[in-house]
Amino acid sequence: MDKLLIKQCLFYGSWLVWPFIAWLAWRLRERRGRTLVVLLLAGCLLFAWARFVEPQRIRVQETVLAGTGAQVRLVLISDIHLGVYKDSAYLQRLVDRINTLPADAVVIAGDFTYEPDGESLARLFAPLAGLHVPVYAVLGNHDQQAPGPDIDTELRAALAKLGVRVVEGDVVSVRGFRLAGLGDRWAGRDDPAFLASAPSPMPTLVLTHNPDSAINLGPEVALVLAGHTHGGQIRIPWLYRHVIPSRYGFDRGEQFLTTPRGRVRVYTTVGTGEIGLPMRLFNPPTIDVLDLRP
């Protein structure tokens, strides 16, 4: 069976949990087998929360990061994954929430899509044009054929029309610091060599999709901003760590990685979308507001 069809069946078939919950609630009137019914009902309610409630939430998390050399407020989001599970209506909610937050810029750490199935990317991501501050981005593995499909060219063109600047392999100046963009690690596009050819006294922030890309950086980088991990997405204690796609133990939030060139500071956001299962648990979609200070 086609993988996309399986995901669509999972997405829509999961609605059947509601009549099952109603039937279990009705069965509670009977004394016989009540313990089993209660356990099944609790499990179904937890499933319903993870499938229908938590993925639709939008949490705002503010973090102060001192010692970066920069004085700026950034909104960091990642892993929007519009396509089979989420659409432009959710992105509009995300944009509306971001516009209520005091910030100097928005940075998007890749994985815009999740099998959009031929839908116009310019129309799908149209809400991004409504953001009130400058927007910078890099692409992720789901945008560049790892696993694919490769929609790199079409996505870049759509984002450019919407006022989103893709900074992959580029450096831009933003309010007293410079922002450098690395491409996706799984796609082999995260070589930071271009940074050496453009030294600057300003603090350097690196935007990338995969936090593992920090292994090629050194302490000359003040901070790496990344996504990719989803924080495990379904954050069941101990188990979630075994599904996070990071070779160097990245999870979520602020962490430090000792690389061959020194110690690198990394901040990883849990993202706002879902892949695999259309579910989140103990780990809602998050907008990270980073208050960077010198």
- What does the alpha-carbon distance between residue 133 and residue 98 come to, in Å, rounded to a whole number? 10
Look at strands 262-268 and 253-259 and give their pairing.
antiparallel
Mind listing the pLDDT tens digit for each residue in 271-286?
A: 999 999 999 999 999 9
Phi-psi map region of 7: left, alpha, beta (phi>0 left; psi -120 to 50 alpha) = alpha
Strand pairing category for 221-226 and 253-259: unpaired
C-alpha 203/C-alpha 69 separation (Å) is 6
Question: What are residue 73's phi and psi, to 5 degrees?
Answer: -110, 120
Q: Considering the entire predicted model, what is its pTM?
A: 0.95
pLDDT tens digits for 180-215? 999 999 999 999 999 987 778 899 999 999 999 999
CA distances from 44 to 14, 22, 39, 133, 249 (A): 11, 10, 9, 42, 32
Read off the pLDDT of residues 9-53 as tens digits, 9 standing for 90 and up.
Answer: 999 999 999 999 999 999 998 888 899 999 999 999 999 999 999
Residue 157 tokens read as 């063109």
Greater confidence (292 vs 31) lies with 292
Q: Where are the alpha helices (DSSP H) in the chain?
A: 3-13, 17-27, 34-48, 88-98, 121-124, 152-161, 193-196
One DSSP character per residue, 135-163 reads: EEEE--GGGBTSSS-B-HHHHHHHHHHTT
Instruction: Let me know: does 167 contact 134? Beta carbons within 8 Å.
Output: no
